[in-house]
Structures are given as structure tokens and as C-alpha cells.
A and B are shown apart, each in its own frame.
Chain A
Amino acid sequence: MKNKYIFGGIIIVLFFAIMGYLFTETNIKYENDFQKVIKSAKIVKVTGSWNKSKKYVIDTKNNEFSFFMNDDSGNELKVVYKGTIPNNFDHATSVVVTGKFHNGVFKAKDILTKCPSKYQDTQTTKNS
């Protein structure tokens, strides 16, 4: 049975090593405190609410879409998303964006919007 265990063992150890390494490389944390988001150099998933008092801007020339987000303690974050406005964005209240803070704005590569309503089931839409 020795060969079996040597072969299996080597493969398993090797994979767990690669997995551990890749996990630290690609791990994305959920974050709801914008002050931490600003300091983080890594890609994070930021949860917060869309600040409706500030209008979102659609820049068709550069194909960009930007809006402002707030966290629970009232910190504000400008989010820029390369792409078109997500479906249903006008009704969204809670937003999850994935990306990195860079040069004063949060560059999102992925937006997930939620439109909770006390009358209907929550609807989730994703853009990436």
C-alpha cells in the first residue's frame, strides 16, 4: 500500500500548499467600514447604501458609471464602475461593490444591487 500513500500524499500536500497560497492571493473580504476600505490596498467587497441625495452620473463617452455610497457611520465613498448602469439601480438601496480604492475613488469591477421592499421579495441583480 506504500505507493498509494506516497502518491496520494504528495498530491494532497502539493495542492493544499498551492491552495493556501492562492487563497491568500485571491481572498476578498467583506467590508462595511469605509475608513478601512480607503486604507486597504487589496480588492474588497464593500457593502453599504446608495446615497440617493447625490445623483449618479453616467458617462457614455468613457462608458463609466459613478455614484456615492455611505456606510453605517456616515462615511462617504465615490464609486466608479466601468460599464453601464446596473438594471434596477434606481430602486436599489443596498449595494455590494467589489474592487479597490485608488486615487480618491473606489474602482468597482462588479456591482450587486438589492432592492428590498416591505411589499415584495428582495430582488438581487449583479453586474460585472
Chain B
Amino acid sequence: MIGNIFLFTALLASIYTIVLYYLDFKGYQNSKKLARIGYHIMTISVLFASLYLLFIIITHQYQFKYVYSYSDNTLPLGLLISSFFAGQEGSILLWILFAVIIGLFLMEYTSKRADLESRVMMVFVFTIFFLLILINPLFDNPFTYIWASEKFVNLKFVNQDYLNLPFLQKFIFQDDSNSTFFVKVTADLVALLEKDGIRINDFIINGVGMNALLQNFWMQIHPPFLFIGFAMSAVPFSFAISALMKNDYQTWVQDSLPWLLGVALVMGAAIMLGGYWAYGVLGWGGWWGWDPVENSSLVPWIIAVAGIHTMLVQKRSIEKEGTSGRFVKTNLILSILTYVLILYSTFLTRSGVLSDASVHSFVAPGKIIFIILLAFLSFFFLLGLISIAIRWKYLEVNFIYEENIWSRELALFTATVTLLGSAAIIIFGTSLPIFGNTVDISFYNKMTLPLAIIMAFLNAISFVLKWNKTPFKQILQDLKNPTIFSMVFTIAIVLLGSVYDGLYILLILFSLMALYVNSIKAIQIIRKRFSAMGVYFAHIGISIFILGVIGNGGYSKQNQIQLPKGEKVEVFGHNLTFIGFEVFDKEKYRFNVEIEKNGNIKNLSPVMFIVEMDNSMMREPDMEANISYDFYISPISYDDGRNKANAEILELTKGETKQFDNLQIRFDSFKFSEGFMEAMQSGEKMTIIAKIIVAENGKENEFEISQIIEKANRQSIPQQITENHIAQIVGLNAMGQIQLQINKSDSQITVPKQILTVEASLKPFVSLIWIGVTIMSIGFIFSIMYRIKEFNKKSLN
């Protein structure tokens, strides 16, 4: 209730703020002050809603559907806080929270710049208003009660003291496929409970918990970064729309540029944090898989980066030529597109349209959200498109001179086209599942390679080219040293690394050239204008990054190998010995593998465990990271050697007899211990005993075979039934059937071998990917500071 009041207040305040900023834009007096008050009310409401969500999560109030669905009692504090954004509704609230905070800075920033505030803030608040609609009290939001719609709650999450309430029985259901019990929680049940004086949060005492994939350190960092990027991307959009509103394109580029740089910085960092998470912890093998979710956040980033390049051209031509500058239309479109593509990304990943295509699991959120997202998306897209169409005739500018072939302007333009080309390709491939199609991953790899070559080439040549025009002789002269440098190193790499693919060689050559050109430039100005280093840093970073991608993407080797315990197995020049496993955190298994290379010994410990929540297997890799390569092992399976040899499975219904070798095996009955039913319902430890009768040559023997069940773990106790047969229960169901696994021990019994199967891979130069991205991010930070300083200097004069 309280949460909903905050959210609703925020929604009303956002409408009020939009209206008053509009009045201010139209010239009504005193409305700006009121608009600001409205904005602050909205901010405070969102802040309180967020704090309240945090409060109900930390105090485990499972009467809220969101808290029940995404958290539980066992999560450590950091992850418990992260469950704020583990689900759809909470992550939208987080997005809004970041948006309103960014808006405070934006208000401060625009209030200092002529009449910008009312226009920019109006558009910006509009984007927040739409997000607030998505979690308004009429739809599912983080404060929806669990009984708002029928919800099946696993019996193990229910307080055991209340299980014998008479009216409860008709709310209990059993899922036959995995014999679990559920309580159907509805408003009726809540009313009945309340009549008995039982509060619902005393009744449901634990939650489903967080998806195991999310339960690690990076969950606390990657999503918030991404949402800061999402929230920030509305700022350049607002600047573009407000420029169109006033039909004035003189200043918006320099105002917008630091923000667009910020978007590129934060989104880029967020994407790569996700990449590191996938690579280092989740064991998805690589840092990038062209998964729809990854792609759809990469595309807005590419558009933002493209926009930065053409904005620089516009900014410069405003200063030098005094018009509204070159590439006005391009810049407006790119600024609008960055935000619209963020929305498209949200639509793709949250509407459930890609659920067949992605590893990221989505829950289809229902039709209303689907439609609203689509409306949201089309609205902002059309808003941008129509505004530009209306202003088109003012945007047509004739220039005195055209871009020379050897000018930096044209190089930057070509870079933008190439970036946009790659964005178009990625979004095309990612959107295909909507139309019942898809492409193989090789589509992206093959497609981006030639684009990367062009980009690397432009990265090298852009800084040799001057604005307007460069004498051809000078270009040749300036390119002499970089060419020699990159040739020598490329030849060395080709020979040492046996790189024989022509396209890769070209990409290495240009990347090295770019690295050299940018480094020389950076060294030249490091003394004079340290603050202007950002651009060179960013380009050095991307060159190093590309070299890392070539090494890792083109020359990784992997091999699936079996490691019998204690035996040395050689793979890629490393000797691996599986030593044994240890149990930690109760039910996680750490497999210790000794890695020996040239006499150096290291230990790697990949981890496997069964996730209780959905019975899935988690596999965490481990690696030895070096500058020149990562040696990476991810666990595949572990065989304790006991069951598999000569095993056969018999399925028996109660009373049924089946023949096995010379044996007649009859399943007589189950035997239940006392308190069995209670134990079964509560998920406590219980023992199931099956009585079977084995007849061999007319002689009958009776056996009791048992299986111990505790939560999701089942442990079968093998039972010797004849001299050479061992039986154990491997499965049972509520229909009264059991599955018996019968092992035949032959005369030559071998000692069972414990075998760990792993995928070992050697990935060259992964480190360059992380180093490159870090340098690039530093470059972005420098550039943002440089642009802000530049403005301050100008406004002082």
C-alpha cells in the first residue's frame, strides 16, 4: 500500500512537472519554480518507493510477490540488496531511480545554459513518466501482493505450524511430474487465514530465492551500471528534441556531448562487466556470445559512439563556419536513435518475444506490458522522426566547400557509416526471431570482421588527416613510421603465432598502425594539454581490444578431456592431474586439478553444484590468467565410477514381477516410517523403503531397499541382492512405480574409477580485451572532463 502511494505520487508529480515546464517554455511566468518543485516531489517519491522496496526485501516480507519470487532467507546482505533488481518490476524501478537522480544533475546543468532547462527537462521527465506507467499500481509492480493473482507457493516455504489448519487442505495441490506440493495462495485463503488471526507473512516464511546464475559478486555491479547507462541515454535524446522544439541548432551539440560521452562510458563499461561475468564466473566459455540480450545493449552503444564522431564534426564546423554545422540531421537522428534503441532493447528482452532464442531466461510479462512497451517505443521513435521531418527545411544547409577526400571530416563520417552498418547488421540478426527466423553465430563473426578492418584503418588514418584538407605528400610522410612499425610487428605476429588468415593479418596490421599513431599523438601532447588525452586513450584502447579479440576469437583452442583421479593428462602443453573434490557451502563441490607447466605447479578448482531451486547444474570455471594467454577449464561432469558399469534399469509397478538374468524380481510394497507424510510435506529428511522379493532358482529372498531424501538430494543405498547383483532405487513416482538399477558385478571386478570431465581451453590474449576496455574507459572519462572544462572556459570569457 505505502509503496503504491509513493509510485502513484511520483506518476502524478511527473505529469505536473511536464505541464509546468511546458508552460514555462511557452513563456508563462513563475511556472519554472513550480515545475522544479514538482520534479523534487517526484524524486522524493521515487526515492521513498525504492527505500521501501529495499526495506521489505531486507525484512523478508513475503506477502509481496516480488520479494517472494526473487529473494529468500539465506541470501547474504549484498545479494539480498541485489534482489531489488533481480526481476522485471524492480529493475524498472531502479532505472527510474537512476533517471530521477541524473535529472537533478541535468536540471542544475541546464539551468546554467540560457533557456535550456524547460525544454530539456520537459522531454526528460516525459521519458520518466513512461517508465512510471510500466510499474503503476494497476499493473504488476514491486509492491503487488502475492494473492493479487493466483499464486502457487511451494509447501516448503510455508510455516509448518499451520499445515494442519482444516481449510488449508483444499488449497493444496501436487505436481505429479516432480511430486512437490503447492499451496494455492488466493485472496480467499488470505481471508480465511486472517479470520484465524494469521498474518500472511507469518504463513509464507521463505521465498523462492535468486536465480543461481545471478548469485555472485557481479550481480551487484553489472545491472546498476547498465541501468545508469539506460537512464543517461535519455539526456542526449532530450537535448535533440529540445533543439528541434526551438529550431535552434547552435549550442545543443556542445551541451549534449559530455552526456553522450557519459552514455558511451557507462554502457561500454556495463557491457564489458557483463562479458567478464559470463567469462570468468558463469563459464559460458567466452566473454561474448552474440546473445540477443548482449546484442541489444551493444547496438545503442555503437550508435552513441557513432554520434560522438559526427557531433565533433558539427561542433567544429559551427565554430569555424558559423552555420548550424555539418551533420546536424545525422546528429539529431543518432541522438534520438540511441534512446529509441535502448527502448527497443528493453522491448526485445522483456516482452518475451525472444524466449526461444536466448540463454537469459525471461518470463513473459503479459500482454499489457508488451503493448505498453511497444507503444512507448513507437511513441518516442515517431516523436523524433516527425520532429525532424517538420524541421527538415531548416536543417538543409548548403556549405561553401565539400569534404575533401583527404580530410578528417570525411574520415569521421566514414567511421560513422561503418559503425552504423555494424549496428544495422547486429540489430537485423537479433530481431530475426520475431519473424520465426534466426542466424547462426557465424553470421555476426563473418560480418563484423570486414567492418572491424575498415574501422581499424580509419582509426589509424584519422589522426594523420587534418581538418579540411591534407596534402597527399604529408599523409605519406606521416604514415611512414607507423607503416614500418606495424609491418615489422605484424610479420612477427604472423610468424610466431602462425596466423595465416588474410583478413586477420590485415586487421592486425591496421590495429597496430592505429596503436602507433595514437600513442605518438598522446606522447606529443602529454606535456602541453594533458586533459585532451582522452580521445587518444580511447583509440589506443580500442586498438588493443581488437588485438585481444583476434587472439581470443580466432585462435582459441579447446578440447574436452577426461581426467581419471590421480592420472596425469596432457593438454595444450599443460599436465593436468585431478586430485579430488571437496565439499563447501554444504552442497557445492570444488574439484581440485593440479596444473603443471614447465615445472610450475598451480591449482585450479572449478566448481559444480545442483541448484535446489530448479534442479539445474551450475558449473563454475576456473582459469589461470596470464598476459599472453588464459588457460581455462570448465567442468562438464563428474563420474564417481560406481553406478554405470554393467547397470540396467528395471521399472516396476507395485506387485509387478520382472525377469532379470535368471532372477524374478517382484516389487512388493513401500514401507513408510512414522511421521513420513509430515516429513514429505515439509521437505525434511525422510527415508523411502521399497520391499522387493527376489527369486533365484525357486528360492525367494526378501530385501528392503532404501532411498534417503532430503530437500533436492536423493541418496540411494545400494543393496546386495545376490552374490553378483547389487540393486538400488534410482527413481520413484507417486503412481507407485519404482525404478531399480541393478548392477551386475562380474567375476573380474575392477576398482571403480573416478573421472572428472572438463573442457580445457587455451585462449590467447584475453587480457588485452580487458586492458583495452579499461584504457578506453579512462579515455572517455578524460574526454568528458575536457568537454566540461572547455565549456566553463568559454562561459568565463
Which residue of the partner chain, among A30, A88, A90, A124, contacts B438 with CB atoms under 8 Å? A30
**Nearest CB of B to A3, in Å:** 5
Q: Please, which residue of chain A has its CB at the minimum distance from the CB of B440?
A: A26
Q: A11-B418, A11-B454, A124-B361 are in contact. Are A88 and B616 (CB under 8 A)?
A: yes
Choose the segment among B102-110, B398-406, B516-524, B742-750 that binds chain A (4+ C-beta atoms closer than 8 Å).
Answer: B398-406
CB pair A123–B614 under 8 Å, yes or no, is yes
Which residue of the partner chain, among A28, A60, A88, contacts B644 with CB atoms under 8 Å? A60
Roughly how many angstroms separate A19 CA and B175 CA in the complex, as a whole number? 48
For A41, list chain B residues within 8 Å (CB).
Answer: none
**Nearest CB of B to A111, in Å:** 12
Q: A84 at interface (Cβ–Cβ under 8 A)?
A: yes
For A117, list chain B residues within 8 Å (CB).
Answer: 175, 177
Choose the segment among B192-200, B443-451, B760-768 that binds chain A (4+ C-beta atoms closer than 8 Å).
Answer: B443-451
Q: B178 at interface (Cβ–Cβ under 8 A)?
A: yes
Q: Tell which of A22, A28, A90, A118 has the most Cβ of chain B within 10 Å.
A: A22
Which residue of the partner chain, among B363, B644, B757, contacts A121 with CB atoms under 8 Å? B363
CB pair B616–A22 under 8 Å, yes or no, is no
Within 8 A of B (CB), among A92-128: 96, 112, 115, 117-126
CB pair A126–B413 under 8 Å, yes or no, is no
Q: B439 at interface (Cβ–Cβ under 8 A)?
A: yes
Within 8 A of B (CB), among A31-51: 43, 45, 47
CB pair B439–A63 under 8 Å, yes or no, is no
Q: A2 at interface (Cβ–Cβ under 8 A)?
A: yes
CB pair B639–A91 under 8 Å, yes or no, is no
CB pair A87–B173 under 8 Å, yes or no, is no
For A87, list chain B residues within 8 Å (CB).
Answer: 615-617
For B180, list chain A residues within 8 Å (CB).
Answer: 119
For B413, list chain A residues within 8 Å (CB).
Answer: 4, 7-8
Which residue of the partner chain, among B178, B399, B410, B442, contacts A26 with CB atoms under 8 Å? B442
Within 8 A of A (CB), among B153-190: 173, 175, 177-178, 180, 182
For A25, list chain B residues within 8 Å (CB).
Answer: 443
Q: B436 at interface (Cβ–Cβ under 8 A)?
A: yes
CB pair B437–A15 under 8 Å, yes or no, is no
Q: Digit string of B744-779 for contact with A (CB within 8 Å is 1, else 0)?
A: 000000000000010000000000000000000000
Q: B481 at interface (Cβ–Cβ under 8 A)?
A: no
For A120, list chain B residues within 8 Å (CB).
Answer: 152
Q: A84-B636, A119-B175 are in contact. Are A3 and B437 (CB under 8 A)?
A: no
Q: A18-B447, A88-B616 are in contact. Are A1 and B417 (CB under 8 A)?
A: no
Q: Digit string of A68-91 for contact with B (CB within 8 Å is 1, else 0)?
A: 000000000000000110011011
Total chain B interface residues with beta-carbon distance under 8 A? 50
**Nearest CB of B to A107, in Å:** 15
Roughly how many angstroms separate A118 CA and B182 CA in the complex, as a whole number? 11
CB pair B440–A11 under 8 Å, yes or no, is no
Q: B560 at interface (Cβ–Cβ under 8 A)?
A: yes
For B359, list chain A residues within 8 Å (CB).
Answer: 124, 126
Roughly how many angstroms separate A1 CA and B401 CA in the complex, as a whole number? 8
Q: Please, which residue of chain A has its CB at the minimum distance from the CB of B153?
A: A119
For A119, list chain B residues within 8 Å (CB).
Answer: 152, 173, 175, 180, 182
Roughly how many angstroms separate A90 CA and B739 CA in the complex, as a whole number? 14
For B414, list chain A residues within 8 Å (CB).
Answer: 7-8, 11
Q: Please, which residue of chain A has its CB at the minimum distance from the CB of B618?
A: A87
For B566, list chain A residues within 8 Å (CB).
Answer: none
CB pair A8–B447 under 8 Å, yes or no, is no
| Interface of A, helix, strand, loop or mixed by DSSP | mixed
Q: Digit string of B345-373 for contact with A (CB within 8 Å is 1, else 0)?
A: 00000000001100101110000000000
CB pair A15–B436 under 8 Å, yes or no, is no
**Nearest CB of A to B267, in Å:** 24
Roughly how many angstroms separate A44 CA and B378 CA in the complex, as a whole number? 32
**Nearest CB of A to B61, in Å:** 21
Within 8 A of B (CB), among A48-67: 55, 60, 63
Q: A1-B403, A117-B175 are in contact. Are A27 and B639 (CB under 8 A)?
A: no
For B440, list chain A residues within 8 Å (CB).
Answer: 26-28, 43
CB pair B438–A28 under 8 Å, yes or no, is yes
Which residue of the partner chain, among A47, A83, A88, contacts B356 with CB atoms under 8 Å? A47
For A19, list chain B residues within 8 Å (CB).
Answer: 425, 428, 447
Roughly how many angstroms separate A30 CA and B355 CA in the complex, as a whole number? 13
Which residue of the partner chain, among A1, A11, A45, A115, contacts B421 with CB atoms under 8 Å? A11
Q: A28-B438, A88-B616, A123-B361 are in contact. Are A15 and B636 (CB under 8 A)?
A: no
Q: B637 at interface (Cβ–Cβ under 8 A)?
A: yes
**Nearest CB of B to A89, in Å:** 10
**Nearest CB of A to B350, in Å:** 14
CB pair B402–A26 under 8 Å, yes or no, is no
CB pair A3–B614 under 8 Å, yes or no, is no
**Nearest CB of B to A88, in Å:** 5
Roughly how many angstroms separate A63 CA and B561 CA in the complex, as a whole number? 10
CB pair B421–A12 under 8 Å, yes or no, is yes
Roughly how many angstroms separate A119 CA and B182 CA in the complex, as a whole number? 8
CB pair A23–B402 under 8 Å, yes or no, is no
CB pair A29–B177 under 8 Å, yes or no, is no
**Nearest CB of B to A42, in Å:** 10
Roughly how many angstroms separate A121 CA and B364 CA in the complex, as a whole number? 9
Which residue of the partner chain, among A4, A15, A45, A123, contacts B425 with CB atoms under 8 Å? A15
CB pair B399–A29 under 8 Å, yes or no, is no
For A122, list chain B residues within 8 Å (CB).
Answer: 355, 363
Within 8 A of A (CB), among B443-502: 443, 446-447, 450-451, 454
Within 8 A of A (CB), among B599-625: 614-617
For A8, list chain B residues within 8 Å (CB).
Answer: 413-414, 417
CB pair B425–A30 under 8 Å, yes or no, is no
CB pair B404–A3 under 8 Å, yes or no, is yes
**Nearest CB of A to B406, in Å:** 10
For B355, list chain A residues within 8 Å (CB).
Answer: 122, 124
Roughly how many angstroms separate A90 CA and B733 CA in the complex, as a whole number? 13
Which residue of the partner chain, among A3, A27, A124, contacts B402 with CB atoms under 8 Å? A3
Within 8 A of A (CB), among B228-280: none
For B363, list chain A residues within 8 Å (CB).
Answer: 121-122
CB pair B399–A1 under 8 Å, yes or no, is yes
For B436, list chain A residues within 8 Å (CB).
Answer: 29-30
For B182, list chain A residues within 8 Å (CB).
Answer: 119
**Nearest CB of A to B353, in Å:** 13
Q: A19-B428, A60-B644, A84-B636 are in contact. Are A28 and B617 (CB under 8 A)?
A: no
For B425, list chain A residues within 8 Å (CB).
Answer: 15, 19
Roughly how many angstroms separate A34 CA and B774 CA in the complex, as a whole number? 49
CB pair B757–A22 under 8 Å, yes or no, is no
Q: Please, which residue of chain A has its CB at the minimum distance from the CB of B450?
A: A18
Roughly how many angstroms separate A112 CA and B291 CA in the complex, as a whole number? 14
CB pair B402–A84 under 8 Å, yes or no, is no
CB pair B402–A1 under 8 Å, yes or no, is yes
Roughly how many angstroms separate A79 CA and B200 CA in the complex, as a whole number? 47
**Nearest CB of B to A25, in Å:** 8
CB pair B439–A27 under 8 Å, yes or no, is yes
Which residue of the partner chain, among B356, B454, B560, contacts A112 with CB atoms under 8 Å? B356
For B399, list chain A residues within 8 Å (CB).
Answer: 1
For A22, list chain B residues within 8 Å (CB).
Answer: 443, 446-447
**Nearest CB of B to A38, in Å:** 20
For A11, list chain B residues within 8 Å (CB).
Answer: 414, 417-418, 421, 454
For A60, list chain B residues within 8 Å (CB).
Answer: 639, 644
Q: Digit string of B631-644 for contact with A (CB within 8 Å is 1, else 0)?
A: 00000110100001
Which residue of the partner chain, among B177, B361, B417, contacts A7 with CB atoms under 8 Å? B417
**Nearest CB of A to B486, in Å:** 23
6 A-B residue pairs with CB within 8 Å: A3-B403, A18-B447, A43-B440, A96-B356, A122-B355, A123-B616
18 further interface pairs, Cβ-Cβ under 8 Å (given A4-B403, A22-B446): A7-B417, A11-B418, A12-B417, A23-B443, A27-B439, A27-B440, A28-B437, A30-B356, A45-B438, A63-B560, A84-B757, A88-B614, A112-B356, A117-B175, A119-B173, A123-B361, A124-B355, A124-B359
* 6 tightest Cβ-Cβ pairs between the two chains A and B: A87-B616, A26-B443, A119-B152, A26-B440, A87-B617, A15-B421
